[in-house]
């Protein structure tokens, strides 16, 4: 500067803070400044530990910020990592200086290293991150909170209060204490460790003065760009301009890699598909930051919209808290694109006036809003878990639902269903998937979907669509089963008869009719059935007084017995030879006596027609043995096909097969 300027500088009164002020002004020798020494809230309250990360962002800057806002100081100088984010209204960063050494050092008695410290040694630190990293290397050490100036903390080492101390290397060098370094630690430190920050009032006339030492003038910018759901035609003009101007593009899934080759920028994949994360989010934040620090024009290209289930705000906060300029260019969110590409409206007059976008990424935290239409992103993996929350929350099992895979791409596929059906349905190796729930789904023509029904009877599936029935199981009655003797001798002694399939009913009554006993001997029993088809078969035999499982599986029977505390009952369970023992086992656990009688067998249908699976959007399975027969015939369950099970046990068999 050609002329002298007088500035009032606020700084904390510690020796390190005063050295930092001298460091800043050593680069501005013509500037005359007056020092205003202050004690921050953190300086006055050294009893408050920092290890729990519960202190306010302005713990070390609050009083200095007030001095700036109220005009008693012109600028304040801080360690950059202590500056709160965001800065208080009315303040701005005037300059960020180049970083000194950014490592951490160990200070210890007798200069012992981390490896040579004895087990149980106490290490003082004020950082939760440092604590975690040290314990990862030496879990046998004790980490204790420590506060005070650098000199005060080192004094605690020398007096034996702690055995060692972790401290920023740059602080030791600035204070001339580098001889106390026992070891440079291999720990990750804060991105701004070693940098100094000059803070002043917004639009301060001193900003130009400090621009000479502001390293941000060499920084590049980061632009978050939404690519849409995958089709390059949906990229906005603003997004295209940002890509054309980029030096480096960090992109994730759903991005057409061939399309990106049309740009001059370096392209780096940082996708995070389930189970195939190339980078953790923290690592992505760091690579964006480092590229911007190198002066590069950075584009972070995201599928959909950067601010909808895309970690956009996390990246903004990380970068802006490190003083990197960030722009955001919106993209077409997948839920919006899905509506256009499937013609399923998200709202419709008289049908739906509200819509909610929900993350399906985590089944534990999936929400069930009361909006008319729900769109779940990332729903494919946790489909059954999401539905298991929606129905108890008040959605009818008959509520229409649609699953859409690869929205906007050539391989887009839509699967129509209901919530009740989706309780026991899954998609193998099919991501990304959007789940849309609500009456608006009915606007599309479900009649055109092709459905393969593999059970023994075509009525095993009653939904809409073009049905192809290829029974994979054949049913055979077991002749001379124990049922005949039971019917003749002890049928009167049973409290319950539970039927799990139509065939159990059919063969039971074939045998019963041979006894010539009046039907009332059965009719007076408590009768339970699993599934609507089983109940319909009982109706053929004039059995109307019965309890039908509220689900299509035996779990509903067990739940009923639990709810009404049905114990001490004698139960007859006529079933398949291959039937799972779940029902009888659970009823016995409740204190009941179960007579488990196989009366029919099922085996693979050797005459079943082989069909082209590619034309079907849905395959329906009625039993675990049907799943086994399918795999035996076709080799494996197909991907990109909705696999529907009639009941929990069959669903569990499907899950086992695809794992």
Question: Using CA atoms, how far apart are residues 173 and 107, in angstroms rounded to an integer?
Answer: 13
Of 163, 214, 378, 525, the active-site residue reads 378
CATH fourth-level superfamily of 219-332 = Tetrapyrrole methylase, N-terminal domain (3.40.1010.10)
Question: Distances from the Cα of 248 to the Cαs of 226, 227, 243, 283, 317, in angstroms?
Answer: 16, 16, 9, 16, 20
Question: Using CA atoms, how far apart are residues 659 and 650, in angstroms rounded to an integer?
Answer: 15
| pLDDT lower than 70: segments of the chain | 1-5, 272-278, 518-521, 523-524, 580
Indicate the fold that domain 476-604 takes in CATH: Rossmann fold (3.40.50)
| 1 belongs to the catalytic site | no
Residue by residue, what is the 3-state secondary structure of 332-364? CCHHHHHHHHHCCCCCECCCECCEEEEECCCCC
Helix extents (H) in 8-48: 15-26, 41-44
Predicted pLDDT of residue 429: 87
The answer to whether residues 235 and 228 touch, using CB atoms and an 8 Å cutoff, is yes
Closest to 281 measured CA to CA, from 259, 254, 261, 309? 309
Predicted pLDDT of residue 1: 37
Tell me whether the CATH fold assigned to 104-185 matches the one assigned to 476-604.
no
CATH architecture of 104-185: 3-Layer(aba) Sandwich (3.40)
Domain over 335-444 is classified CATH 3.40.50.2000: no
Per-domain boundaries in the chain: 5-98+195-216, 104-185, 219-332, 335-444, 450-472+606-658, 476-604
Q: What is the pTM of this model?
A: 0.85
| 252 belongs to the catalytic site | yes
71: CB partners within 8 A, 6+ apart: none
Predicted pLDDT of residue 521: 66
Closest to 316 measured CA to CA, from 333, 331, 300? 300
Extended strands (E) in 174-270: 183-185, 196-201, 222-228, 248-251, 266-269
Of 272, 413, 578, 640, the active-site residue reads 272
CATH architecture of 5-98+195-216: 3-Layer(aba) Sandwich (3.40)
Of 214, 252, 305, 372, the active-site residue reads 252
Q: What are the pLDDT digits (tens) for 395-439?
A: 999 999 999 999 999 989 999 999 999 999 999 988 889 999 999
- In this structure, the strands spanning 425-427 and 413-418 are unpaired
Predicted pLDDT of residue 458: 81
Predicted pLDDT of residue 273: 60
Cis peptide before 86 (omega within 30 of 0): yes
Closest to 378 measured CA to CA, from 346, 403, 343? 403
């Amino acid at each position: 500067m050609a002329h002298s300027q007088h500035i009032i500088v606020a700084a904390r009164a510690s020796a390190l803070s005063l050295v930092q002020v001298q460091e800043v002004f050593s680069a501005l020798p013509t500037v005359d400044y007056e020092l205003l020494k202050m004690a921050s809230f953190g300086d006055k309250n050294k009893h408050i530990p920092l290890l729990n990360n519960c202190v306010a962002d302005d713990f070390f800057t609050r009083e200095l910020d007030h001095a700036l806002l109220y005009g008693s100081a012109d600028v304040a100088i801080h360690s950059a990592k202590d500056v709160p984010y965001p800065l208080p209204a009315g303040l701005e960063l005037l300059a960020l200086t180049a970083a000194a050494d950014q490592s951490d050092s160990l200070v210890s008695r007798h200069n012992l290293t981390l490896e040579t410290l004895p087990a149980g040694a106490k290490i003082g630190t004020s950082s939760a991150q440092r604590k975690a990293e040290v314990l990862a290397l030496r879990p046998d050490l004790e980490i204790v909170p420590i506060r005070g100036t650098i000199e005060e903390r080192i004094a605690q080492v020398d007096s034996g209060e702690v055995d060692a101390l972790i401290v920023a290397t740059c602080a030791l060098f600035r204070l001339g204490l580098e001889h106390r370094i026992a070891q440079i630690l291999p720990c990750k430190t804060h991105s701004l460790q070693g940098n100094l920050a000059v803070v002043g009032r917004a639009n301060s006339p001193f900003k130009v003065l400090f621009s000479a030492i502001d390293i941000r003038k060499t920084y590049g910018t980061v632009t978050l760009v939404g690519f849409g759901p995958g089709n390059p035609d949906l990229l906005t003009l603003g997004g295209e301009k940002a890509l054309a101007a980029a030096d480096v593009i960090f992109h994730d899934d759903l991005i057409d890699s061939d399309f990106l080759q049309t740009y001059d920028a370096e392209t780096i994949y940082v996708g995070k598909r389930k189970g195939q994360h190339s980078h953790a989010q923290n690592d992505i934040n760091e690579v964006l930051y480092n590229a911007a620090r190198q002066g590069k024009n950075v584009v972070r290209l995201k599928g959909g919209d950067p601010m909808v289930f895309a970690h956009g705000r996390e990246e903004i906060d990380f970068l802006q808290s490190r003083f990197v300029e960030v722009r955001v260019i919106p993209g077409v969110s997948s839920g919006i694109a899905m509506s256009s590409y499937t013609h399923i409206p998200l709202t419709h007059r008289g049908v739906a006036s509200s819509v909610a976008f929900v993350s399906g990424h985590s089944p534990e935290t999936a929400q069930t809003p009361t909006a008319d239409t729900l769109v779940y992103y990332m729903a494919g993996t946790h489909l059954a878990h999401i539905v298991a929350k929606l129905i108890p929350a008040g959605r009818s099992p008959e509520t229409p639902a649609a699953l859409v895979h690869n929205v906007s791409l050539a391989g887009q596929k839509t699967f129509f269903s209901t919530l009740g059906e989706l309780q026991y349905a899954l998609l193998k190796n099919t991501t990304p998937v959007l789940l849309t729930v609500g009456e608006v789904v009915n606007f599309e023509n479900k009649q055109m979907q092709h459905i393969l029904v593999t059970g023994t009877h075509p009525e095993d599936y009653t939904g809409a669509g073009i049905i192809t029935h290829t029974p994979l199981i054949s049913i055979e009655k077991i002749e001379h089963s124990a049922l005949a003797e039971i019917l003749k001798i002890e049928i009167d002694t049973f409290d319950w008869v539970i039927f799990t399939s139509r065939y159990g009913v059919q063969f039971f009554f074939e045998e019963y009719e041979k006894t010539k006993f009046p039907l009332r001997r059965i009719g007076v029993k408590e009768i339970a059935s699993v599934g609507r088809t089983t109940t319909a078969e009982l109706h053929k035999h004039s059995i109307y007084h019965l309890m039908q499982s509220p689900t299509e599986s035996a779990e509903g029977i067990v739940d009923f017995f639990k709810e009404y505390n049905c114990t001490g009952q004698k139960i007859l369970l006529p079933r398949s030879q291959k039937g799972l023992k779940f029902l009888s086992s659970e009823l016995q656990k409740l204190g009941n006596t179960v007579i488990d009688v196989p009366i029919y067998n099922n085996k693979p249908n050797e005459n079943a027609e082989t069909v082209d699976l590619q034309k079907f959007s849905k395959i329906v399975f009625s039993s675990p043995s049907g799943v086994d027969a399918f795999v035996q015939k076709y080799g494996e369950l197909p991907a990109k096909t909705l696999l529907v099970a009639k009941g929990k046990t069959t669903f569990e068999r499907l899950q086992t097969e695809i794992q």
